[in-house]
Homo-oligomer: A and B are copies of this chain.
């Protein structure tokens, strides 16, 4: 089971309701796994890529709507099988530099383009759901 999860995200979340939702899931995940959210300033793809490159781990997934799709069960199973750290990279409004994509696997939450701030919240909810699935806890609310 992953021992640490890191989310690298470009750009600041401004909407108060998204900030609140993110805090809620970070709080809920605390008993299960250490999750770090690293927020990087936006400033052009190349500059962003340099900063992102400092934080990659051996299991890095770039979020990309044209990437690989998982069901929630498949995603939970994937998280269960990875030892060590998992890193998820969420780009800004302009996407992500090819140099990062080449070193990473991809994860598509949807064929649709989501607001990238909201993507953070949706990803955290799926990570929490994975830990609920993997520890056989019910999670309906």
A93 within 8 A of B: yes
1/0 per residue, CB under 8 A from B, across A58-73: the answer is 0000000100011110
Chain A interface, number of residues (Cβ within 8 angstroms): 30
A98 within 8 A of B: no
Distance, CA A12 to CA B86, complexed state (A): 34
Residues of A whose CB lies within 8 Å of any CB of B are 14-18, 20-21, 24, 65, 69-72, 75, 93, 109-115, 118, 121-122, 125-126, 129, 140-141
- Assuming the contacts A112-B71, A112-B72, asked whether A21 and B18 have C-beta atoms less than 8 A apart, the reply is yes
Complex contacts, A118 vs chain B, CB 8 Å: 121-122, 125
Distance, CA A35 to CA B87, complexed state (A): 38
Contact in complex: B20, A113 (CB < 8 Å): no
- Which of B14, B113, B122 touches A114 (beta carbons < 8 Å)? B122
Q: How far is the CB of A61 from the nearest CB of chain B, in Å?
A: 14
